[in-house]
């Protein structure tokens, strides 16, 4: 069984986002071992400088690094990452698993993104879309795509 860890900087404040997250966590429970870890973002002033943002991202990187699974395939979620179709993500996860790498860390940074060190340490930089979405929605979209990818692998009708 696959081990999937979502490491998220920040939590879900709105009940409807928490409910959506719980629904996908429930759906995924029969397909993988899923862990969602929330890391508290570093507090920044209302209008932070670039230096303040960079320092906060590095502090968050230290916290993220402590949560990473040794030997896991690491996906850094970032704007400049490459995009995948659902079918391609499904095939990619399956290929890694067949090669003996069945643990995956998906890392979602704060609304300011991820530190360069986290991106460089990742096996893959993944982007959801060229469009802009609310930051809190990223977790829901990623959970749905993981569920879709594993459903494709299982041959379920969900993807149709």
> What pLDDT, on a 0 to 100 scale, did the predictor assign at position 133?
86
Per-residue pLDDT of the chain (160 residues; tens, 9 = 90+): 999 999 999 999 999 999 999 999 999 999 999 999 999 999 999 999 999 999 999 999 999 999 999 999 999 999 999 999 999 999 999 999 999 999 999 999 999 999 999 999 999 999 999 998 888 899 999 999 999 999 999 999 876 6
> What pLDDT, on a 0 to 100 scale, did the predictor assign at position 134?
87
Contacts by residues 90-94 (CB-CB < 8 Å, ≥ 24 positions apart): 90/148, 90/149, 90/150, 90/152, 90/153, 93/2, 93/149, 93/150, 93/153, 94/153
Residue ranges per structural domain of the chain: 2-41+54-159
> What pLDDT, on a 0 to 100 scale, did the predictor assign at position 152?
96
Contact indicator for 9, 108 with CB cutoff of 8 Å: yes
The domain 2-41+54-159: what is its CATH number? 3.40.1280.10
pTM (predicted TM-score): 0.95
> What pLDDT, on a 0 to 100 scale, did the predictor assign at position 159?
66
Distance CA 16, CA 12 (A): 9
């Amino acid at each position: 069984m696959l081990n999937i860890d979502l490491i998220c900087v920040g939590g879900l404040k709105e009940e409807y986002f928490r409910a959506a997250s719980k629904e996908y966590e429930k759906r995924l429970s029969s397909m993988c071992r899923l862990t969602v870890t929330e890391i508290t973002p570093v507090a920044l002033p209302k209008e932070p400088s670039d230096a303040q943002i960079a320092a906060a991202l590095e502090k968050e990187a230290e916290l993220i690094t402590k949560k990473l699974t040794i030997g896991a395939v690491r996906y850094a979620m970032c704007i400049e990452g490459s995009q995948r179709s659902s079918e391609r993500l499904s095939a990619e996860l399956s290929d890694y698993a067949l090669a003996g790498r069945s643990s995956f860390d998906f890392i979602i940074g704060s609304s300011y993104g991820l530190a360069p060190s986290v991106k460089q340490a990742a096996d893959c930089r993944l982007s959801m879309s060229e469009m802009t979405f609310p930051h809190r929605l990223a977790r829901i979209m990623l959970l749905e795509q993981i569920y879709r990818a594993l459903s494709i692998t299982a041959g379920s009708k969900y993807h149709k």
